[in-house]
Amino acid sequence: MHRPTTLAFLAAVTAGGLAVAGATGATPAALAATATPAALAATATPAGHPAIRASYTRGSAGYVTGGGWRFRYVGASLKIPACRADPASNAGAAISLSGDTRYLPSIHTRYLASIAVVCGGGAHSVGYFGRRFGSGAFRLSPDVGDVLTIRIYHQAGHDYFTATDTTAGTTQPVAVATPAVVVYRHATLLASIHATRRSVAASDLRLWEFRNTSVTSASGKHGTLSGPWATYQLIGTADGTAAGRLTISASYPSGNGRQFSVWLRH
C-alpha cells in the first residue's frame, strides 16, 4: 500500500490542483474566497443552533470563517489515523489562513499559509506551505494514534508554523517571511479526498476528528467556529454542486464550536 506524504500533497497545491484542498483547480485560498454569503446555500443544522451556510466543493469538507473579519491565528488537534487499503477511503487534513493584500484584494494576489497532515504518520506526514513564500516537511515523525497539535500564527512580516506531537513530546516551529501587506481574511479547517475516485466503503467512515479548534482575529478577538465571525461549511460532492452525489461532509461543530469530525459518505 502506498502511503501518501505531504511532499506530494503540498506539491499539488503549488501546482494549483488539489490534495490539500480537494477541489479540482482550487486551493484552500480559492475555496475560502468563494465562501461568501452570496455564494452559499442554507445547510440544515440541529435544533437550537444558528444556521450555517454551505459552499460545495469537489472532495473537501470542513469549515471556513469569514464575514468581513481579518485573522491572524488558527489551530487544532488531530489524532493520526491509519491509512486504509482503499486509496479512495483516505484523506488529508489541513488548517489554513488565506487572503490577499490590504491594498489590492484580487484573485491575482492570493496568499495562503497552510499545514497539511496525511494518514499513516511517519516521516514527511506533516508539512507546511506558504504560497509564494516557502514550504517543506516538519521533522516530526508521528505514529498512528499520536495526537498532533498544529498552529499557524501571522504577524506582520512573518507566518509562524508550529507542529507538536503531544504524544511523543516533540515540537518544531518554522518561521517564514511574508510581505507586510498580506491580510488573511479566512481561517479554514478541512479534510480532503481524491474526488475522482469512488470509495468501496459499505458505510460512512470517519476520516479525521478536529479538536480544540481555535481562531483569533487580527485585532486579537479569540473565538471558535461558533464565532463571533460568520462561519461557512464546505461540503464535498462528486461534481462540486449541491445536486451532486455527496462524497464527504463534516459534522456540526460541538463543544462551543471547538470540535467536529469529517466523514467519508458511502
CATH number, domain at 150?
2.60.120.700
Q: Quote the number of domains for the chain.
A: 1
Q: Where do we find the cell 481562531?
A: 215
Q: Tell me whether residue 65 is in a domain.
A: yes
Element (H, E) at 171: strand 170-177
261, three cell numbers: 469530525
Report pLDDT for 109.
59
Give the alpha-carbon dihedral of 80, 70, 129, 28, to 10 degrees: 70
Average pLDDT over residues 217-230: 93
Average pLDDT over residues 231-237: 90
Q: What does the chain come to in residues? A: 266
d(CA 48, CA 40): 21
Average pLDDT over residues 103-131: 80
d(CA 196, CA 191): 15
Q: Is 258 left (phi over 0), alpha (psi -120 to 50) or beta?
A: alpha
Report pLDDT for 195.
67
Report pLDDT for 136.
87
Q: From residue 135, how far is each of 160, 225, 245 by CA, in Å? A: 12, 27, 34
Non-local (6+) Cβ contacts of 210 within 8 A are 62, 76, 77, 78, 93, 189, 259, 260, 261, 262
Report pLDDT for 67.
86
Q: Tell me whether residue 18 is in a domain.
A: yes
Is 259's pLDDT higher than 70? yes
Q: Tell me whether residue 77 is in a domain.
A: yes
Q: What is the mean pLDDT of the chain?
A: 80
pLDDT, tens digit, 9 for 90 and up, residues 147-178: 999 999 999 889 999 999 999 999 999 999 98
The gap from C-alpha 122 to its chain's centroid, in whole angstroms, comes to 20
d(CA 104, CA 102): 6
Q: Tell me whether residue 56 is in a domain.
A: yes
Element (H, E) at 158: strand 158-165
Report pLDDT for 5.
54
Domain of 139, in residue numbers: 6-264
Q: From residue 189, how far is each of 3, 161, 181, 212 by CA, in Å? A: 22, 15, 24, 12
Is 92's pLDDT higher than 80? yes
165 or 135, which is more confident: 165
Q: Tell me whether residue 220 is in a domain.
A: yes
Is 19's pLDDT higher than 60? no
Q: Tell me whether residue 1 is in a domain.
A: no
The pTM assigned to this predicted structure is: 0.83
